[in-house]
Amino acid sequence: MIDRRDFMRAAGLAAAGWLLPGAATRVLGAPARPVAPPAPWTPLRVRGVVRVGGVGRAGVAVTDGLTVAATGADGAFELITTSRRPNVYLSLPADADFGTPVGGPVRFHQRLHPNKAGEAAAAFDLTPAGVDSERHAFFLLADPQVQTPAEVRLFQTETVADLKASAARLGDQPLFGVSAGDLVYDHPELLAGYTAAVTATGLPFFQVMGNHDVDRDARTDGRSASPFMRAFGPAHYSFNRGAVHYVVLDDIHWFGGYIGYIDQSQLEWLAGDLALVEPGRTVVVFVHIPPYNEQHARHGREKPNLAEVVGNREALYEILEPYRAYALCGHMHECEYLRDGGVDIHIGGAVCGAWWTGPVCPDGTPRGYTVYEVRGVELTRRYQAVGRPPDHQLRVYPVGSDPESPDEIVANVWGADGSWRIIAYSDGLRAGEMTRRTGCDPLAVELYAGDDRPAKHPWVEPTRTDHLFYFRPPPDARHVVVEATDPWGRVYTESVQLGG
């Protein structure tokens, strides 16, 4: 039996082999299927204008996905591109409406139609947002990863209903959603069902490409993005809300397998995009594969494989260095919050949990999504378990639930980073801070451990996590309350009865 960790490790080793000299034929297959040469390119001059409420808008970034131009005082721009770059698009200004009156994917690009002189025109006429977005909120959905029509229906009936309830609780502030990749599970024909589901939320949605959203028959990385781009448009882009600049990147490098990697053209585009953003601003980058995570260390491996992290993350960090930067990700089907290279990395639990096999991810995080509220340049977050109230932020297990710690209770606090305080109270008396250790969530072990569980995907296995907290109660204790306080002062409690 090969579990998912072994599969990911094998994918990384295959990727490493592909990077070695002479290895391309071994990985990509026999030379009897040569890759077609690209079509010849010709230069193309694009002239256009960006207007908000009918008035030309200065300083808006317009791009073909590589070159970035800024609009002038009258909103006009000129961009030199090539026939190989089919779209022109813009970084949506903070005060412009997303243009999705019924919700669903935001459309921000225009197809270019060159004339015989090698020129094309593009006009972006945007509607004013009509509300100040300095205060706004968004939802991060990691890995919906629907594989069948039945899973699309689960996403529609459970996740969408919960999202609508969360949106109602947030009131009248501007809202949007971001799906952080793996929208589907190797079935691009289900992208239509995904699109219908996020449209039903009534919220504008942005999409990130994941490794399961690619054309798996593609022979090159560029062509692998075709299903995603046909459904949603460019796979890397930016937009603005309030004081925050948001960026979406495609960090899936596909060659018949995949590694986490941001190609040079995207890095150049990002540098050009951020050249129009003043240093010190908050920049939030959405990617699928985390730039870095520490799952490998929790499983006793010296370093991560190339399918789990972004191999050239230092280049990304260098571009982001002048900013207060966040990377919001999925891919790992677990929660983890860490800082690497000056960037705060947030890895959100999966919408599908353990691939729609049970109520929790392999680390015990409930199926769900993350709610971010933004006030000026400050972000706060809270994980939302589907079908549970907003204060469901931890699960407490009785003594003996973890065989590695048989005389302790264990609390899984899936949103915790190093700034949370986790306190135990024994029979009403404060007993002190709980000890953070690495282990497996007992419910995840019950549901997923073993060759025959879960029945739907037996390869799913529990994942060791570091958001477990332990406490050894006194021998005569009868009741323990765990109190978790997040960095923003919100307090959550759960309790467990002990003894008879």
Read off the CATH number of the domain in which 118 is found. 2.60.40.1120
Local confidence band at 42 (pLDDT 50, 70, 90 cut-offs)? confident
CATH number of the domain residue 212 falls in: 3.60.21.10
Rounded mean pLDDT, 433-462: 96
Mean pLDDT of 166-189: 97
Residue 444 and residue 358 share a domain: no
Query: What local confidence, expressed as pLDDT, does residue 21 receive?
Result: 38
Whether the CB-CB separation of 48 and 91 falls below 8 Å is answered with: no
Same domain, yes or no, for 227 and 298? yes
Q: Do the domain assignments include residue 35?
A: no
Same domain, 92 and 68: yes
Q: Are 181 and 210 a contacting pair, CB within 8 Å? A: yes
Dig out the tokens for 302 from the structure: 């010296």
Q: How many domains does the chain have?
A: 3
Output the pLDDT for position 35. 56
**17-21, 156-160, 353-357, 484-488: least confidently modelled range:** 17-21
Helices (H), 417-487: 442-448
Position 184 in a domain: yes
- The phi and psi torsions of 198 (rounded to 5 degrees) equal -70, -25
Return the closest-CA partner of residue 256 out of 214, 311, 209. Answer: 214
Q: Which of 168, 184, 42 is CA-nearest to residue 114?
A: 42
- pLDDT for the residue 41: 73
Average pLDDT, the chain: 92
* pLDDT of 351 over the 50 cut: yes
With cut-offs at 50, 70 and 90, classify the pLDDT of residue 283. Answer: very high
Mark whether 210 and 241 lie in a shared domain.
yes
Sheet of strand 465-471: strand arrangement: 395-397, 409-412, 465-471, 435-439
Cis amide prior to 38 (ω within 30 degrees):
no
Residue carrying structure tokens 């930067």? 325
Which range of residues forms the domain containing residue 105? Answer: 43-126
- Confidence class of residue 16 from pLDDT cuts 50, 70 and 90? very low
Q: Are residues 254 and 364 in the same domain?
A: yes
Tell me: do 70 and 99 sit in the same domain.
yes
